[in-house]
A and B are shown apart, each in its own frame.
Chain A
Amino acid sequence: MRRRRSQMESLEETPGERWGSSAKQPLPKTILVLGATSAIAQAWMRLLAPQGASFFLVARNAAHLDSVAKDLATRGATAVHVEMADLDDTSGHDELLERAADALGNLDCAFIAHGVLGDQAAGEKDFAVASASLQTNFLSTVSLVTWLANYFAAQHHGRLVVISSVAGDRGRKSNYIYGSAKAGLNAFLAGVRNRLDREGVQVLTVRPGFVATPMTAHLPQGPLFATPDDVARDILRAIENRRDVLYTPWFWRWIMALICAIPEWKFKKMDL
């Protein structure tokens, strides 16, 4: 589905954007969203649609993509382009990203939100299951970020927002396959940030805790669960403030600091 094509004016770069001052950064106007049907991505896009942002949405399910696109267009998005793709297949990434940059005129921001929690128990028995989780949660994002990092570096501006997880902070027996993919992602993004900051590009690693989404609908929901709206607002603030790593909601920074402080001889005996 193609909607009104946007005429994209290039954003002026403020000095603050380059040096990371405390000045509020302007909101992105041309946005590529990978995994656009994820609950966090939807909530975040809803904050930007009324500001007249233009979107290029990528997800697997055409019907779901269509309803998300209609929602954003109704809420005031200037343009909404959609493309159906399975991001596990990295061979199509470069062309997909080129089409997105073409359709939007340029890219202010790329938001990577696709991922699967996966079946830990099955992954412990079958490497194919573990490998599929790593493909989706780590390798496919590495492939996307490789292209995007070069694109943003050449442009000397841009924001790369990637949904990681607090699960990447320490491997736990209940979901270490997913956790290790996210840990790899965290390290990869730290390196990309180290490379791109001097090019004027923000790399934001988002580490949400429990969020009430379809991914967690089967889990009993305790008081630690946040809504996708809460997380989306935090992410937008972190973009405006040019942050590097965001724990959301905020208390997860302290929960994870505590979990990481437990010595390994003790940790290995715990049920987490």
Chain B
Amino acid sequence: MPSKAPVFESWGRYPKLDVRVEPLFWTDEYPRGTRLPPSVLPVGMGRSYGDVGLLEGGTMLSTRGLDRFLHFEEATGMLRCESGVTLDQILQFSVPRGWFLPVTPGTKYVSVGGAIANDVHGKNHHVAASFGNHVPRFELVRSDGSKSICSIDENPEMYYATIGGMGLTGLITWAEVQLRPIASRKIRYTAIKFSGIDEFLSISSSSRSECTMAWIDCISQGRAFARGIYMQGDYSEVLEPKKASPKPRLAVPFDFPSWALNRTSMRLFNELYYRKQLRRQVTGLIDYEPFFYPLDSVLHWNRIYGKRGFLQFQCVIPWRYGRDGIIAILETIAESGMASFLAVLKVMGEIPSVGLMSFPQPGITLALDIALKPEVTFPLFERLAEMTRELGGRLYPAKDACMTGHQFRSFYPQWQQFEQYRDPAFTSAFWERVTADA
């Protein structure tokens, strides 16, 4: 670990690596001859949690300066923009015009390039699949200087490899995103309390909403085990004027001390969160901001985990073992007492992702933060990863910092096929880690 704070950290702030960042301001700046060392990795907003967006001993190409819109078709909602444009910038632009993102993760502070590279998914996965399914075309620049347009028809192999390709196939300079129309900023919202995985599954199977997810208490055991709140929403169809969102005003100003988040404070949070909704079912109309991006209203929320950072665990367990598998994983997490407040359960749909290495698959996905206490967290994580492997599931590289090479290669047996499309100059700390012992 370097002695001074690294110049760039991933969202989970672990691992801390000695990285070098070179900003790009124009799409024609890479590759620019001999000035750059051979290994590079594009990085956007740095919102992936672990080391998929980190590279030690090379140069990370920051795409934040590639933030231009190139074309927008008002009639069809097709947007072409540079790869560093963030989902927040898209919404600022598109919402007043009556268009919304086709798929959005739980934060809007990610770049289009990052959303493609990690093939992110959101609350509408069961009807819309993942982000890459809505990206018909993009341009890819390779380290040999070649530029190619990638789509289903043009360079299809590179198109499939780049979506979910973790930034390893080359630099995405621009992309087209097919937006979806909206009539208002409002979401018709229903929140239903549930107790246990069976009730979650029965609510899930009867839900007809476009956007669904559940907050789940991963700490409580006994009668309160696997209790949670199922949240579903649909875009309001009542036509209303649509203003752009104001800038968030709250930010966590400093790193919390490591003792601030402990078993008691987490238990209290989970208890209060579950109890604050008194009735079993609540419905209403809410703005899309608190519905899709509750955490974005507080900037730098990762600081509450302190300087040491945290790990995020996200698995998807296929239906074959889904119910029992998720219960077993939840029991393991609850017993450890290590979970925090941000645990999410969601049913993933059947529509396949287009990416060769995309994470989503049909089944149940569970995502949660685990504060980093080395002696407890790593063994727990190892156990959860092994359980995921035995249950035929997989972990999400965008959120991972410690799966083993063996685990990765059994989650993604197609990795060798993918390796053919990786640009020889592009690599990441994650990729080095999971392929080193192959």
Interface residue ranges, A against B (CB under 8 Å): 39, 61, 63-64, 67-68, 70-71, 74-75, 214, 217
Contact = CB atoms under 8 A, between A and B. Distances in A.
Given A71-B69, A74-B71, A75-B69, A214 B93 contact: no
Contact of A67 (B26, B72, B93): B26
17 contacts: A39-B25, A61-B26, A63-B28, A64-B28, A67-B27, A67-B70, A68-B68, A70-B69, A70-B70, A70-B71, A71-B70, A74-B70, A74-B71, A75-B69, A214-B25, A214-B65, A217-B23
Nearest to B97: A76
A175 B188 CA distance: 59
Contacts, number: 31
B12 to A, nearest CB: 23
B8 to A, nearest CB: 12
A75 B71 CA distance: 9
A75 B70 contact: no
Contacts of A64: 26, 28
A64 B27 CA distance: 8
B82 interface: yes
Nearest to A214: B25
A253 B293 CA distance: 38
Contacts of A217: 23, 25
A217 B65 CA distance: 11
B35 to A, nearest CB: 12
A74 B26 CA distance: 17
Given A67-B68, A214-B65, A75 B93 contact: yes
Interface residues of B, number: 13
Contact of B26 (A63, A70, A75): A63
A214 to B, nearest CB: 5
B311 to A, nearest CB: 29
Contacts of A68: 68
Nearest to A43: B67
Contacts of B70: 67, 70-71, 74
A74 B72 contact: yes
B68 A71 contact: yes
Nearest to A213: B25
Given A67-B27, A214-B25, A217-B23, 8 more contacts: A67-B26, A67-B70, A68-B68, A70-B68, A71-B70, A74-B69, A214-B23, A214-B65
A71 B71 CA distance: 7
A75 B68 CA distance: 10
- Which 10 residue pairs of A and B lie closest in terms of their CB atoms, listed nearest first? A71-B68, A74-B69, A70-B70, A214-B25, A74-B72, A71-B69, A67-B68, A217-B23, A64-B26, A63-B28
Interface in B64-117: 65, 68-72, 82, 93
A208 B156 CA distance: 47
Most chain A CB neighbours (cut-off 10 Å) among B26, B72, B93:
B26
Interface in B1-49: 23, 25-28
A49 to B, nearest CB: 10
Contacts of A61: 26
A67 B71 CA distance: 10
A61 B28 CA distance: 11
A78 to B, nearest CB: 15
A63 B68 CA distance: 13
A64 B28 CA distance: 8
A157 B158 CA distance: 55
Contacts of B23: 214, 217
A74 B67 CA distance: 13
Contacts of B69: 70-71, 74-75
A164 B249 CA distance: 31
B59 to A, nearest CB: 13
Contacts of B27: 67
Interface string B320-357: 00000000000000000000000000000000000000
Interface string B160-188: 00000000000000000000000000000
A210 to B, nearest CB: 15
A71 B84 CA distance: 13
A214 B32 CA distance: 15
Contacts of B25: 39, 214, 217
Contacts of B26: 61, 63-64, 67
